[in-house]
Chain A
C-alpha cells in the first residue's frame, strides 16, 4: 500500500489485513528470532468507549494468527502467553513506532502479564514488529 492510498482506521479489520500483509512481506522468521509466542493487547480508554483487543500468534518466527476486535469478537476468547494492558493513546504511539514497548513498560504506561524474563528478551522483537506496523498508513 503506497503513501497515496487512503489511511486505514486503526484496529479495523482492513487495517489488520494490511498489517498481516506487511508482516508476511517484511518480517522473516529470522527477523523474529524464530520465536513461538502469542500476545494480546488490551486497549482501554478508546475513542468509542469500548475495550479493543489486538492478538498476534507466531510459531517459529512466522505469523500464524492475527485477530482484532472488541468484547463481542472471537479475539476475546484467545488465550495468550502475554497480555499487555494500556490506554489506546499509548498503544497508538507504539503502533506508530513513536514509543518503544520497553520504554512504555519501564514508565508503567502499559502493564504486562506474563513471564517478565521472556518478555524482556522479546522486547526487541516486538519493537521490530511495531516498526512494520508503523508502515501501514493509519488513521488514529
Chain B
C-alpha cells in the first residue's frame, strides 16, 4: 500500500542496475548495513549480504534465525538464511549465489571494501574477501561502493517524510524528558524516560551505537572535543548542565536530536556559554544551503567565533552524514583527501540530508552543550526537521 512514507523500490533497483551496467558488473555483492537498508528497505541487525544481479531481483542472505522476519518485512521476496550447517555457511551460499550470476566464471563482481570510524559499517572482511577470490579465481572483484553512495546521497520524498516522522518522535521524547525530569534522576533513567515516550510513538529503536540515547550531566557535558556520551548511572544535580541527545528510528529513517538544559541555580558563566552556544548554532543552521561545503561552513563559524573569543569551545566540524539505518558519518562520496572520510569540499545540493552537529564544551567551567538535528538541503537553504527549540532550557 502506497503512503507518504513509500519508497519506489523498483526505480531504486533499476538505477543501481543501470550503474552496474555502466561499470560492467555482472553482480553486486552488498555487505554494508546501509546497502541492505537502502536496497532491501529492511533492518538487518545480523551480518547480512545482498546479491544484486545485473537483471532481476536481489537476494538477501542473513543469519538463519532472522531470515523469515527479514523476508516478512522486506519488499524483496527472496530472503535466505545462512548458518552453521553443511552447505549453509555464509561463504558457501554466497559463492553459489554469485556463481549463478556469472557466465563461465569470468566476470566483474562489485564488492564493498573500505574502512570506517563507524563500527557497524559492514565492509567485506578480509576473510570473506580472501575466500571469495579463492573460490572464484576467474572473476574480477571491483570495489563498487560509489554506486550505492552516489544514488543514496539524494533523498526521495518518501524517505524524507520518514526522517520528518523520526524527528517528530524525537521531539516527543524531549517533551517527555521535560515533563518528567527530576533532580536526582540518573542519566540512564532519563534515557529510558525518553525512550518509553518515543517507543510509544512508534520508534523502532534508539538506533545509535553510542549507547542509544546519549545523556550527559555536569562535567560530562564538557569532555574536550567530546561528542559521545552514553548514559551512565550518574544522578543529575542542581546547578549543573544536562545534555539530552535522543535517537529514534522510523522505517529505517533516523531521528537524532540533542537538546540542552541548565538546572538552576544557573551561574553567569553558564548563561554566557549558553548564549554563545545559541548564537553559534543559529548561525550554523543559517549557513546550510546548496553550494556550501563542510569546509566553508567550518571556516566561517570558526573565524566568526574566534573574533568573538570562543572558538576554543567548539569542535571545528558542524555535521555528519545520515541516511537509512547503517548510513552514518561520512557525507557524500569517498572522494576526499583523507580516504573514507567526508570530503571537506563536498558541495551540498538540494535533497541531500545531513545531521547538523555542533559540540560546544568549556571543560574549565564544567559546562558543555550539543546540537544535532537532521536537515534537508532545500532550494535556498535547509529544512530543520526537529522542532524542539534551539535555546538552552533553564529548569528551576
- List A residues 116-138 near B (Cβ within 8 Å): 116-117, 119-120
Known: A117-B67, A120-B64. A112 touches B85 (CB 8 A): yes
- List B residues 82-138 near A (Cβ within 8 Å): 82-89, 92-93, 96
Interface of B, secondary structure class, is: mixed
| Any B CB within 8 A of the CB of A104 | yes
Contact A116 B83, beta carbon cutoff 8 Å = yes
Contact B86 A116, beta carbon cutoff 8 Å = no
Give the docked Cα–Cα distance between A106 and B68 (Å): 20
Interface of A, secondary structure class, is: mixed
Residues of B within 8 A of A105 (CB): 85-88
Residues of A within 8 A of B81 (CB): 115-117
Residues of A within 8 A of B88 (CB): 105, 112, 116, 119
Residues of A within 8 A of B32 (CB): none
**Range of interface residues on chain B?**
10 to 19
Q: Type the 1/0 row for A95-111, where 1 means its CB is closer than 8 Å to any CB of B.
A: 00000000011111111
Known: A111-B92, A113-B96. A106 touches B84 (CB 8 A): yes
Q: Which of B67, B68, B81, B86 has the most CB of A within 10 A?
A: B86
- Tally of A interface residues using CB under 8 Å: 18
Contact A113 B86, beta carbon cutoff 8 Å = no
Give the docked Cα–Cα distance between A117 and B67 (Å): 8
| Any B CB within 8 A of the CB of A44 | no
Contact A115 B80, beta carbon cutoff 8 Å = yes
Give the docked Cα–Cα distance between A138 and B67 (Å): 39
| Min C-beta distance of B102 to chain A, whole Å | 17
Contact B82 A116, beta carbon cutoff 8 Å = yes
Contact B86 A104, beta carbon cutoff 8 Å = yes
Known: A105-B86, A113-B96. 11 other contacts (CB 8 A): A86-B86, A106-B84, A109-B86, A110-B87, A111-B86, A112-B87, A115-B81, A116-B64, A116-B82, A116-B83, A117-B68
In order of increasing CB-CB distance, the 4 nearest A-B pairs are: A111-B87, A112-B87, A111-B86, A108-B86
13 of the cross-chain contacts (CB-CB < 8 Å) are A106-B84, A106-B85, A108-B86, A111-B87, A113-B96, A115-B81, A116-B64, A116-B67, A116-B80, A116-B82, A116-B88, A117-B68, A120-B64
